[in-house]
Amino acid sequence: MKYHSTFTACVALLACSLLPAQEDAFPYDIRGTNYTPVTSLAFNNVVAMIPERPPGALIRGQFNAKLVQAELGRMAKSGVNNIRLLPSFYGYIADRVGYMSCLKTLSRLCHERNISITYQVWSGVTSTAHAVSADGVTSMELWHELIGSSVTDPYNFPVLGGALLRSAARQQLFISRGGTIPPGEPWLASIFAEPGNELLLMSGDYGTWPYNLKPRIDGYLDAIARFFSADPDGRLAFASYDLFNEADATQTVPPAHAIQFIKFRVH
């Protein structure tokens, strides 16, 4: 991971204060790997942590506990004892209850195999091509696609579900074609910067961001903090937080904005 030096210092100082520290012993002998379930279609970190639903359901994820169990088992046999989980704020928005249920299941399966979790909170990495989103804005950010078409409806689930399904379908088609871009498709892959590089470019004060994002961000962070500090499965599996992966993935975001965004959550 690479960071601006100023941001590295910020992360080092805030790592213990952004989210509640855990009392469990930290596994210093770490043999780790990045991880997102295979059903993420290699890159779609949004749908990877949402439960599977029957056809016709409004929002359908692709989390599969049996496949996760098999993957974790193989990693444990190879000596891995820590995963840096690549989760999704937007997956949480899509299905709060389902997301937290999948996180609990994954945490339990990790602990059963003596694998701890480093939870990546935010990420500056994105692997999408420019596309015109539902609100008519040309963007690389998923938040445009998910919540950009209705100012009055703060959740806008039909648009959200449709965006997730389109994203997953395009990614699957991309993979099935051996990594070549299908004709006429604007998406290359579907890893999304979270909360969004374009948002951070606007301001580090997320209270100024559009579409009611501040309470969503606060709710997400509070839910994750409660889970790893109070839920038995969360506490047993927890190792650490990765506050912001590759915050300098785009050179257009001023480091001061990213630092300001992180500082808002110090308590």
Q: Is residue 137 part of a domain?
A: yes
What's the confidence (pLDDT) of residue 264?
Answer: 67
List per-block mean pLDDT (blocks of 10 residues) for the chain, which spans 267 residues: 34 40 60 86 70 71 90 96 91 87 97 96 74 56 59 51 62 63 53 82 90 86 96 97 83 85 69
Q: Is residue 25 part of a domain?
A: no
What's the confidence (pLDDT) of residue 165?
Answer: 62
- Please list the residues that pair with 182 across neighbouring strands: none
What's the confidence (pLDDT) of residue 47?
Answer: 74
Q: Which residues of 125-142 are buried (b: 16+ CB within 10 A; e: fewer)?
A: bbebeebebbbeeebbbb
What's the confidence (pLDDT) of residue 117?
Answer: 97
Q: Is residue 183 part of a domain?
A: yes
Range of the domain at 54: 5-20+31-263
Q: Is residue 26 part of a domain?
A: no
Q: Is residue 145 part of a domain?
A: yes
Looking at the 3D structure of the chain, how many domains does it have?
1
What's the confidence (pLDDT) of residue 195?
Answer: 87
Radius of gyration from C-alpha coordinates of the chain: 18
Q: Is residue 52 part of a domain?
A: yes
What's the confidence (pLDDT) of residue 252?
Answer: 78
